[in-house]
A and B are shown apart, each in its own frame.
Chain A
Amino acid sequence: MPAPPPRTKPDEPVAGAGSHADAGPGGEPGDAFPEARARFRSACETHLDFVWRFARACGVEATSLDYVVHKVFAVLRGRLISLDDASELRVSIAGTTRQVVRAHLRQLSSPRESFAQAQPRPAEELDNVAGLETKSAGELVDLILSAMGETEREIFVLCELEGFSTFETAEALHLSESTVRVRLSDARKIFNDVSARLRAQRFWISRPEDLP
């Protein structure tokens, strides 16, 4: 059964977000609105780590993470007052982060690069990764995620890294729940295959000298 439409619109355009004029009276966390201010603070404290990790896993480079986090919370400022439920807020934050990240990545690259970025990296390209033996877990996961398509990556990160249910993921990404289930299954298969491939390569690189 397809997921019911979300009550909020996490994927609304983000242009002009962050200005006080756009935030409206409900979203202005100034002195005149102590409740909105407290909500904003609480949302930042609770979801800052998630926004940071999700943006990073979706391909935002370390030097732009600050910018993306600021942009996401600037967009959210205007919506917090209408989001009562904690789960609803988390879903809205995920949708907004995805929107901001996609806009940021598209802005950085030309249309052709942008298209290539959204495409999965062929698994064969991961057969000869330089310096594989010294890569950290985070770098290895980044490599594995690069073998997934954009949407699969987002679904995988939300479900497996952040503990979202398939229903919440479907709401955040504006997909049906059945689509999320199928794509998640595909993404897990890619993750298992590529991680096994990389593991075998690491073993081969660091094998004992006397191994035939």
Chain B
Amino acid sequence: MNELRPHGRELLDAARRQHTPSPAERERLLSELLVSAEPAPATRISLVPQRLSAASKLLLLAALAALIGVALYLASRG
């Protein structure tokens, strides 16, 4: 297998250093990436129903049951 010559290796090492982002660039990108990974406001809103209190859940259940009852009553009459 071919191997790299010493001056080629030196050239590569120098290029690697040059092509690495500067500390300031790195810091900027890193903070942008972390900000972009934050959940969007829409996602936060979608989590709200999971945090309903027990009373609210009970109320919701009762409303649903009433709705089903009304629907069944209307269906039997019509």
Q: Residues of A with Cβ closer than 8 Å to B?
A: 20, 28-32, 37, 40-41, 44-45, 48-49, 52-53, 56-57, 66, 69-70, 73-74, 77, 136-138, 140-142, 160-161, 181, 184-186, 188-189, 191-192, 195-196, 199
Of the stretches B38-46, B56-64, B67-75, the one at the interface is: B38-46
Nearest 8 A/B pairs, CB to CB: A30-B39, A137-B14, A138-B18, A141-B15, A188-B2, A138-B15, A137-B15, A185-B1
Contact indicator B37/A37 (Cβ below 8 Å): yes
- Whole-angstrom distance between the Cβ of B43 and the nearest chain A Cβ: 5
- The docked-state distance in angstroms from the alpha carbon of A44 to that of B32 is 11
Known A-B contacts A70-B32, A141-B15; the reply to A195 vs B8 at CB < 8 A is yes
Q: Tell me how far the C-beta of A185 lies from the nearest C-beta in chain B, rounded to whole angstroms.
A: 5
Number of A-B contacts (CB under 8 A): 92
The B interface is mostly helix, strand or loop, or mixed, namely helix
Of residues A30, A140, A199, which shows the largest number of chain B Cβ atoms within 10 Å of its Cβ?
A: A30
Instruction: List the A residue with the shortest CB-CB distance to B50.
Output: A32
Q: Are A137 and B11 in contact (CB under 8 A)?
A: yes
Residues of B within 8 A of A48 (CB): 21, 26, 29-30, 33
Complex Cα spacing A53 to B19, Å: 6
Q: How far is the CA of A32 from the CA of B19 in the complex (A)?
A: 37
Complex contacts, A138 vs chain B, CB 8 Å: 14-15, 18-19
Asked whether A45 lies within 8 Å of B38 as measured between CB atoms, the reply is no
Report yes or no: B18 in contact with A28, Cβ–Cβ below 8 A: no
**B39–A199 touching, CB < 8 Å:** no
Are B20 and A53 neighbours in the complex by a CB distance under 8 Å?
yes
Task: Please tell me the size bucket of the interface on B.
Answer: 20 to 34
Given contacts A160-B12, A199-B7, are A49 and B37 in contact (CB under 8 A)? no
* B interface residues with partner A (beta carbon < 8 Å): 1-5, 7-8, 11-12, 14-16, 18-21, 26, 29-30, 32-34, 36-40, 43, 47
* A interface SS class: helix
CB-based nearest A residue for B18: A138
Shortest Cβ gap from B25 to chain A (Å): 8
Known: A28-B39, A29-B37, A188-B4. A140 touches B11 (CB 8 A): yes
**Whole-angstrom distance between the alpha carbons of A49 and B2 in the complex?**
28
CA distance A67 to B33 in the complex (A): 11
CB proximity of B13 to chain A, nearest CB, Å: 8
Which chain B residues border A73 with CB–CB below 8 Å?
33, 36-37
B12 touching A181, Cβ below 8 Å: no
